[in-house]
Amino acid sequence: MPELRKDPIISRWVIISSERGKRPINFSEKMTTTSSQACPFCPGNESATPREIAAYRSDNSEANSPGWTLRVVSNKYPALIVEGTLQREPVGIYDRMSGIGAHEVIIETPDHDCGLVDLEPQLIRDVLWAYRERYLDLQRDSRFKYILIFKNQGGPAGASVDHSHSQLIATPIIPKRVAEELAGSKKYYDYKERCIFCDIIRQEIIDKSRIVSESDSFIALAPYASRFPFETWLMPKSHLSNYTDTDPDALDELARILKEVLARLKAGLDNPSYNYILHTSPIGNEYRDYFHWHIEIIPKLTRVAGFEWGTGFYINPTRPEDAAKFLRELTVPGTK
């Protein structure tokens, strides 16, 4: 049974999940290149995953069989488990919680060799729609405080299966970084009575130097204090606290700009591995005024060294203005 343990000094929760130690790639630095025959996410291999939670499939195809275009399953090696009650207890001066949560995989395409960036916009929109559906379903579970959606693309970015997929983890705690964003944006709101993300967007639209791409409702930019070269944030221009507050019709536009940003990174940086993380407000309404959902996209270009690990203090060798200009000025097929 996994457990959640709290660092007593900085109040960071860590998942101790020794079950997960049984994963095939444990401790390996190797890139796993699963062939489509062995790939648990390929059509025909549905029995290699836990039973599907949801799928977008042709009308006459059966659950857990081919015929799908997108499939959601539980993670076979879950970091947290969904069954059980949430127990909190002290361990001397320490604090622990049972490792209750959900850990799901969103298989984005049946095509083993097709990255998210290569999908047609309407299929990327399906992925964004699946995020929404899973969020709406899981937020009804009162044990959960946060639903985290992220994507690891490529071995160096931590993917253990190279068939394109996203992951979702629902947790009984608010992850530390999100808690910091909530605290920081609340502090700003308390002082200014405005959302800090909205103010950032206003300044960036005037300044222009850090914009990677822009559409009617969304903006992609290199943040002023980027930790990593070519770090790119994608956010709605209007104030929206939770991802599910987004007008469903706007997901088409979001799919197009996400595809475009990923295509710029792919073309400009030689198809890099990358991570993205959807930062949305925790479950509940109290964050509505001051938090603003966004997607943080981080291409995996520099090795992060001990200095960064141990300090939360990053050295970025590329000015965000230079990164944004480079990405913005690329000619990418299918974009204006």
Active site residues: 165
Contact present, 133 and 244 (Cβ < 8 Å): no
Measured from the CB atom, the residue of 201 and 263 that comes closer to a second copy is: 201
**Residues whose CB falls within 8 Å of the CB of residue 236, separated by 6 or more in sequence, listed in order:** 217, 218, 246, 250, 292, 293, 294
H or E element, residue 323: helix 320-329
With vertex at residue 142, the alpha carbon angle to CA 136 and CA 148, rounded to the nearest 5 degrees, is 50
CA atoms within 13 A on the CB side of 52: 24
Measured from the CB atom, the residue of 139 and 280 that comes closer to a second copy is: 280
- Residue 193 CB, shortest distance to a second copy, in Å, is 14
The alpha-helical segments, DSSP class H, found in 215-274 are 250-268
**Residue 128 phi, psi (nearest 5):** -65, -35
Contact present, 298 and 275 (Cβ < 8 Å): yes
DSSP string, 48-71: GSSPEEEEEE-TTPPTTSS-EEEE
DSSP bridge partners of 294 = 279
H or E element, residue 105: strand 102-107
Burial of 262 (0-12, 13-18, 19+ CB in 10 A): buried
- For tokens 């949801």, what's the residue? 54
- Residue 159 CB, shortest distance to a second copy, in Å, is 7
Per DSSP, 15 falls in state E
Cα 325 → chain centroid: 25
Contact present, 167 and 130 (Cβ < 8 Å): no
Classify 327 in phi/psi space as left (phi over 0), alpha (psi -120 to 50) or beta.
Answer: alpha
